Structure formats: structure tokens, C-alpha cells
Structure 1
Amino acid sequence: MKLDKDVLFLVFEELKNDKKFLHSCLLVNRSWCVTAVPILWRDPGKYFRTINSNYTKKIIKLFNVILLHLSEESRNILKIQGINSSITEKYQHPLFNYISFWKHLNLLFLDTVLFSKSNLNAKDMLLKLFINKNTNFIHLSIPQNLDYELLHISGIEKCFSELESFHCNDVTDPHVLMGLAGICKSIKKLIFDNWYHFPDNYGIIKLIEVQKKLNDISFIYPRRSIRNDSFNKTLEKSLIKHVDTIQYLRLDWKPITNILSYLVNLLSLEINILHFIKSNEANHLENLSLPDLRILRTQRVPSKILVNLIDNTIGNLSEISVFCDGTNNKELMQSISKNCPNLRYLKLSLLTNLNILISELENLLTNCQLLNGLIVDLYDTDTFSIFNWDKLFKILNKSSPICLYKFKFSSYKVIRLDHLELFFDNWKDRNSMLLKISNNYYSAGLEAKQKLNDLYEKYKAKGVINKYFTGTSRNINEDFEWI
């Protein structure tokens, strides 16, 4: 029985991240091949995000495929320049116009693929294969070292007219951003990285102002970058006209205006403040009411502010990730327990009053029966502080809801093996754990790490542990599967 093409497309869309599956579909028949190829070539860059021993070979293969899209006249020009003439002479044009399927244009990746193998004279010729009246991209990422006249390429208006996602940084040419503002009006997701803090880039302000569907915006400031309150204030004000459409927001600074009080439709809020502040220094975070909020991620926002924010939700929060200084931790735990029955993921990074976590955790686990993943990240650097991991594990054994099986534990102090073993022994008739432990003691010492790995393997064989990882990074959100 032949599958209808529309049904086949819907099935392949559901499996669009399964490269092996889609590759196998190419060999079934023509209909399957024609349906799979555009999905595979929608974002070729995603297959190169891991650098391994085959990375260079894969880049060369992709470059050769792109060359085959050139006209005979362009091939002859490249031949004169000595660029991969053997490929263009040996093979004909591809059966598919693969570049026409390309929807995610990352110009930094394109530089890596194309311009590492060609000279400056060929750059414009190769770039025009991608930017012309016959291509149409939904995502554009511009690198900091853009050194070609992007806006002067014929067909750019058609090429980027339906752009939905855009990524740039503070050194992106403001004139390019201003030019794109005249072309792109339908951007939904925008990421602005302030890596170097070059002169304030007001081109991004103009680009934000003209959008009609802006839904997801992130202003990302690495720790080493300098915060400019005046420019950040202007960025916040640029969001005012988009309060009806913005649902996802990330700010890597302490809010300067009361913009958050306008964004009542927020589903996700992330605020990362560089240094700890006091409650009286967070005037624009007080008395916020975001009833539809699903995701809350904060760093160095006072617990008192978080308690108020969580209290004003209506039970929709499914993910909470907070890094607090320890003040009002008890009230924070109680607020989560009381107001978050639909919570599925919880990360608690605490500096002080660590054992309050234990005293309130059992009640939280009882009330949050949908909890699926738990991170306990303790900055227990005080010589005299003693966190009772054994008691924490006993509470998890006793009170964890049936769907909780994903854990990450991080601590400067040693998490004892006998405490872990008892935890594993009592994890009976439950889903196999996904487990990560971030601890210098087990990562730095080969003997200690081997003992921990032996313990993991023992309980993996028993089905208690499904997957495990040991690391040192404090950023324990990384390098571990939560799905």
C-alpha cells in the first residue's frame, strides 16, 4: 500500500532529527526519497556541530556538492582559478537542487564550508548560490567578521522576506541590521549576543521595532562582557510595542525599566544577573504577576522576589531553575510546593542555608507529583557547613513521585559512596535513573572515579541506573540527556 505524500511528509517531520532514519528512506523508492531530501537539507549545519575526526572530510564533501550547483560558465571561472576542477569536470549537476531546500543560513558555517577552499574572487560567486531570488530562508545567523556586502547581493529582498529567526551580536554591522529591518518584518525569534561590548549597536533596536510577530527574544551577555545600563534600557523600551506577542524572554542583566510588568503573556522568563543583589535593589521585579508563566530561570535574583512571582502564578509552572544566595530559601521551597502542582523540572542552586532544602523537600515531592527531573546544586564552600546527603537520598527514596527518575547532584564536598549505594539499593520498582554527579573529588582522582564508575555499573546491571555521567562543571545543565 502506497502512503499518501502528505501523510509521508507528516511522518518524516516527526522524525526530522533522526538522520539515520531519513537516510534509510532515500533508498525505499522515489516518493520516499523526494519527501526525505528536503528535510535532510533544511539545515545541513546541524550535522557539523560536533567536531570529530571526520569533520574536515565532511566539510570537503559538502563543498564539492555545492560546487556542482554552479553553471558551466561559473565552473570554468573556478577552473581557471584552480578550484576543485576535477570535481566539476567529473560530475554533472545534482539530481536535486539541494541549496533550494536549505532554510537555515548560518554565514559563519558557510564561511567554513565555502571560503576555506576558495579565494576572495570566488566568494561572491559562491555566496550568490545561496542568496538570490530563488532561495528563501527562515533562519539567518550573521557572524561578527562579516566582510562582504550582504545588502548589495541581488535577490536579498526575496531571500530573507520570510525570515522567522535571526541571530547576531554586538559587532554585527549596524548598517546590515538597518538594511534587514527594511526587508524582514516577520521575525519571531531573535537572539542578540553582547560578547565584546563594542559601541552600542542601535541597528538591533531598529530591527526589533519593525517586527510584527516577535515572540521569543534573548539578550545574552557572557560574564566577561560589560553591561551598559543606558543601552540595555533602550533595549527594554524597544520591547514595549511587542507586549502582545512576546512569550519568551531572556535578559542577562537586572531589569532597568518596568517592562516585565507589561509582558503579561510571558510563558518563559529567564533573568541572569551578574552579581547578587538585595531585594531593595530589584524595584522593577517587585509585585510582578505573570499568571501564564510556564518556565522560570533566574540567577542571583533574591528569593523574596521569586516567592512573590511564584505566588502570583496560577499553577502553570512546569520548570523552575534558580540560583539563590540562601535568604528566604524556606519560603521559596514552600512557595514552590504550594503553587506548582504541574512542576516537571526543578533546579535548586543554593549558597547557604543548605539543610533547609532537606527540611522542605519531602512536602514539595508530595505536592509536585508530576516532577520528572531534579537538580540539587550546592555551593557548600564553607568549611563548617555539613550537608546531609544521606538524609536527602532517604527522602528521595521515600517520597519521590513515580515519574521522577532524572537526577543531577553537584557539590564541592564529597558525596559519599556508601550514601549513594544505599540510595540505589532503595530505588526499587521505579524507572531506571538518568544520573549525573558533578564533583571534583571523583573527577580529579582516577582511583576515586573508578570506584564511582564501578558502583554505577553495578546498579546499571541491576536496572537501577539507565545512564550516568561524572563531571566537574558547575553548569550541570549541559552534557546530559533529559529526554
Structure 2
Amino acid sequence: MSKLNKDILFLIFEELQNNSKFLFSCLMVNRIWCETVIPILWRNPWRYSINYKKISLYSIITSYLFDDIKELLTKRGILILGQSLAFDYLSFCKNINIKVIDDIISIGSSLEYNRFLLQEEIYSLLVKKCPEIKYLNICGTYEIVYHPEAKVRLESLCELTCDTLIDSRYFYRLANICQQMQRIIVINKNLVKVNQGTIKLIEFQKNLKYFKWVDEFDDDYYYYWERLEDPYTEIFSILKKHANTLNHFNINLRYNYYDHSDFYDIYNEFNYTFLQNSLLEIHNLKILEIDSPIFLNNDDFNKKLEMVAYRNLEILEIDFIDCYQINCMVKNSLCLRELRINDFHWNYDNFYNDSLNFIRTICEYCLLIEYLTIPAFPSLEKHFIEFEKLLKKCQKLQSLNFKETYYEAGGELEFGDNLLNVLIREASTNLKEIRISYGIKFSLKTLETFLEKWKGRPAVSMFLEETFFYRKNNSYMKLFDKYKIEGVIKKINV
């Protein structure tokens, strides 16, 4: 392998760019390997600040400073670690991460003013030396966009990570410089004021494909809820403008449920219609990830959701959702490969029909499904018949995750045994992972029959949340050990 030409090596290293241990080991093989891997490592050297050691990065960066600048900074008591450079490292750099770089700069001095002087010189250096900045993380303090060369260097920016505490004027300038960003990640830390700059920045983009919003308030943020200007509605409204290009939508909203006697009271107390309204408009998504209290107690939204078709959706991951509503979202999602639901909400009056319709919808529309989360449905013949049809049709299914939703007290074993019998009859040979939540148990006899008949298939990984039930009976543990040795079970988690 050490004799492969540089082009082939480059392709291999590209595929392994997230494996820092491997890439750093390549530096010591020979000069060709070193010359090939350096440009890959230095696209975003800040991600390796732990592996590479901050002191090494600091030494390389300060080596670029002119001698008179080094002398001036040294007189100020700032540590300068110059060294001869084997490569023009910064010419490969396409990523600026303010927070990490500020941390590296702090090596030079503990004094705030001295760190400011270093920031002035080093960020000026980076803007001049990095020929094309593709990724910018400005979750920090230094105002890099005001450098004279910033306009030329940032015009081709593809990805921005920022927080809402940054001055709006900073975003206004970015909005005028960068209008071809494909990915924007917003960390929301502002409790009492809407950041108009982020709104303008998003509005100006012409090819936005990925948007991520993460709330990072302090734990006591909910005490300030009534003082909020509503940091969401305008931004999420602007996102509708990008409905044709946006294909990845990732939302993580903070909410507090500890102060509510009924968990579901939070859905009535806080208004999340801004997110619901956005989802009705953003129809070209391939990936949708939502962690927030949404969708409940809104009949008007439900009716509109029935009319929406997410025809390109491949991955749908939601923390908490009503069975009826997920059924609406999945319908007509012919490309869906992963459906990950952390928890289902249900209405006992409607759950029989909602759970039955959910199974039928997956069976009819989701033939490409590989990862499926499904609520534990009523232990009724009709439901198991429909579930068996689902297994017959969804032959690409690799992981099946049952969530505790509905079971009859005393009927946990009956449900579990019926489930195993259906799985051994109809599960695809692609199925390699089964996750079973609380409220579903397997009898020893049926479990042994299931594992015996699973022989000849790829080994299965099983995650069983009824830990105490299985661990208190040594017969179960012996059974698991036996079939692990025989290669039927790949992994068992009880």
C-alpha cells in the first residue's frame, strides 16, 4: 500500500478523513504519504486540536507572523513559538472556528489585552493566508468579517455556525457578503431579544439546503418565558422562502416539563405553531429531525397535515408525536428509509384505529424502510395480521424498534410471544436488530424456539428493556449465552 500513487492515496485518505488516529499515523510512513495527507488534515485543523495538541497548532500559526510583529508581541510578554515550516499549512485551510482558535490563542498570554492583540494579528493572518473559507464557526467574540480581505475570502462560504448573542450588525455584513451558503446552524442563547441579523442572513441565502436550530438556554430559562420577544416566528417564517431548496431540517427546542403535574400540559402552555406552520410549507425535505413538544391539541394543524406529502423524505426522526399525526406524515413518503420516534402520544379512544392505520400506512407506502419505530399495538388478531403483512412487504427492514404505548396488564407475555412468532415467520433476512421496550416480555419457551429458528440468518442484536425480568431468572441468561456462542445472537442488552 505504501507504493500507491498520490491520486489513489488521496481518495483513500478522503474516505478516512474522520479517522484522525489513522491520518496522523500516515504522516510518518514516507514523504508521499505525508504530502498527501497534510492538505486533508489542514482543511479543518481545529477539529484535531486535542489530537494535534494546541501548542503545536499555536506554534505553526505564530510561525507565519512577520518578524517585527513577533518582536512586538514578545515585548508585550506574549509567548511566541516560531518554527520552520515544511508546508504552507494555512494555504490548505478552509475552515475558521473562532471558539477553538481563541482557545489556542490563549496559550500566548493569560491577559485579556494581550489575547486581543494576538487575535488582531492571527485572524488577519488567517483571512489573508486561507485562500477560500468554506466553513465558518463564529460562536465566539472576534469580529473576523470586518477584515478588509473578508469579502473576497467569505464569498464562497458554504457553512456557517453562529449563536444569537452576536451583534445583529455582524450578520447584516455577512448577509451582504455570503449569499450562497448551503448550511446554517443557529445556536439560540438569547432569552429576551429577537436577533434580526439572523433573520436577514437566512432571508438573503439563495441555495439553503440545511438548517439546524438548537436552543441552549440556562436551566432557569423558563422563568423568563413571558419576557421573550418570540425568537422563533420570524425566522421560521423566513425558512418557508427556502422550501424548494431546503432538504435537511433539524430543530432542537428547550422546554421544561418538570413543573407540570401532567406532562402534556406543556403543549397547552407554550405556543409552537411557528414550527407547525413551517412544516406545512417545507415539502422537499429529505431529512427531518425534531426534538420539541409539538403537534398536540391542534385540530386545525391536523387537517392541514393530512394534505401535505413529503415525497422526498428519507429520514424522519421526532422526539414525541401523536400516532395519528405521524401516520399523516408518513403517508405518501415513498422514499422513507428511517423512521425514528422516541415516544408516541396516544388517545385511548382512538388508539385501536390509529395504531392499525399506522401499520397499514407503513405497509403500503414505506417499502424501502430500513429502520422502523413502531408503537406496541393492542394484542389483537387484526393488528398482528396487518403487522405480518408489513413484514412481508418491507423486505429491506434492518432494525425494528417497539416502543411502549399500549398493552394490557397481565398480557405482556402473550403479546411478546405473538410478536416473536410473527417475526420468525415473516421477518426479512435483512433484519439484524430488534429493540423491545418496557411492557413487552418473552416466555422462555417461545424465546428459545425463536432463537433456534433464527439459525442460518445473520446474527441478531437484541435490546430488551425489561432488564429485571430476564436477569432474575438464570435460565434466560444461560439461553442468551448459548445462542451467542452459536452465533445466533450478535449482541444482547438486558
Q: Does 1:75 align with 2:70?
A: yes
Percent of residue pairs bearing the same amino acid type = 28
Alignment partner of 2:367 out of 309, 321, 341: 341
Q: Give 1:246 deviation, angstroms.
A: 1.3
How far residue 208 of structure 1 moved from its aligned partner, in angstroms, is 0.6
Check if 1:102 corresponds to 2:58: no
Offset of residue 71 of structure 1: 3.4
| Distance 1:232-1:317 versus aligned 2 partners, 3 A rule | same
Gaps (5+ residues) in structure 1?
A: 49-54, 471-483
Amino acid at match of 2:310: L
1:309 aligned to which of 326, 329, 352: 329
Partner of 2:176: 182
Whole-Å separation in 2 of the counterparts to 1:367 and 1:391: 19
Displacement of 1:201 in angstroms is 1.4
Letter in 2 for 1:362: E
Structure 2: gaps of 5 or more residues:
253-271
Letter in 2 for 1:241: K
1:300–1:18 CA distance, 2 compared to 1 (3 A): closer
Match of 2:264 in 1: none
**d(CA) in 1 for partners of 2:450 and 2:125?**
58
Match of 1:474 in 2: none
How far does residue 458 in structure 1 lie from its aligned partner after superposition?
5.1
Cα 1:174–1:79 shift into 2, 3 Å: same
Instruction: Give the counterpart letter for 2:20 in structure 1.
Output: K
Return the match for 1:298 from 318, 334, 345. 318
- Structure 1 match to 2:256: none
> Shift of residue 321 of structure 1?
2.0
SS of aligned partner of 2:160: strand
**Contact kept in structure 2, 1:254 and 1:271, CA below 8 Å:** no
Structure 1, 198-207 or 243-252: larger mean CA deviation: 243-252
Aligned to 2:261: none
Counterpart pick for 2:420 among 390, 393, 396:
393
Q: How many residues align?
A: 453
Judged with a 3 Å threshold, the aligned counterparts in structure 2 of structure 1 residues 177 and 390 are, in CA distance, closer, same or farther, namely farther
Of structures 1 and 2, the larger Rg is shown by: 2
Q: Deviations over 1:298-334 (max 9, x none)?
A: 3443322332332333x21111123321331221111
| Counterpart in the other structure of 2:138 | 142
Alpha-carbon contact 1:236-1:257 (below 8 Å) kept: no
Change (3 A) 1:296 1:83: same
Q: Does 1:463 align with 2:457?
A: no
* Separation in structure 2 between the aligned mates of residue 439 and residue 104 of structure 1, nearest angstrom: 46
Q: Deviations over 1:433-468 (max 9, x none)?
A: 3444556749xx9x8799998876654443234456
Offset of residue 63 of structure 1? 3.3
CA shift, 1:164, in A, is 0.9
Q: Is the 8 A contact 2:79 2:107 kept in 1?
A: no
Q: Deviations over 1:127-169 (max 9, x none)?
A: 33433353432222232xx333333334222332211111223
CA distance in 2 between partners of 1:413 and 1:229 (Å)? 45
Q: C-alpha separation between the residues in 2 aligned to 1:37 and 1:468?
A: 42
Distance 1:23 1:456 in 2: 41
1:128 is matched by which residue type in structure 2?
A: S
Counterparts of residues 13-412 of structure 1 (less than 5 Å) = 13-47=14-48, 55=50, 58-84=53-79, 87-88=81-82, 92-115=83-106, 118-119=109-110, 120=112, 121-122=114-115, 123-124=118-119, 125-132=121-128, 134-143=130-139, 146-221=140-215, 231-251=231-251, 253-255=272-274, 258-274=277-293, 277-278=296-297, 280-283=299-302, 284-313=304-333, 315-322=334-341, 323-326=343-346, 327=351, 328-348=354-374, 353=378, 360-378=386-404, 386=412, 388-411=415-438
Q: 1:348 to 1:135 in 2, by over 3 A?
A: farther
Q: CA deviation at 1:371?
A: 0.9
More helix as a share of residues: 2
Report the Cα distance in structure 2 between the residues aligned to 1:389 and 1:427, rounded to whole angstroms: 16
Distance 1:275 1:422, change over 3 A: farther
Provide the TM-score with structure 1 as the length reference: 0.79
Contact 2:451–2:483, Cα closer than 8 Å, also in 1: yes
Q: Quick one: structure 1 residues 382 and 157, their matched pair in 2 at CA, closer, same or farther if it must change by over 3 Å?
A: farther
Whether contact under 8 Å (1:166, 1:189) holds in the other structure is: yes
Deviation at 1:231, TM superposition (A): 4.2
Q: Distance in 2 between matches of 1:74 and 1:417?
A: 76
Answer with 61-70 or 454-463: which moved more: 454-463
Contact 1:135–1:159 at 8 Å: present in 2 too?
yes
- State the Cα distance separating 1:369 from its structure 2 match: 0.2
**Alignment CA distance shift 1:71-1:404 (3 Å):** farther
State the SS of the aligned residue for 2:128: coil
Q: What's the secondary structure of 1:132's corresponding residue? A: helix
2-side partners of 1:455 and 1:63: how far apart? 56
User: For residue 476 of structure 1, what is the aligned residue in structure 2?
Assistant: none
Residue aligning to 2:458:
431
Amino acid corresponding to residue 10 of structure 2 in structure 1: F
| Deviation, structure 1 residue 406 | 2.6
Q: Find the aligned partners of 2:162 and 2:107 in 1 and give their Cα distance.
A: 22
9-18 or 70-79, larger mean C-alpha shift: 70-79
Q: Displacement of 1:405 after TM fit? A: 0.6
- Per the TM alignment, residue 270 of structure 1 is displaced from its structure 2 partner at its CA by 3.3
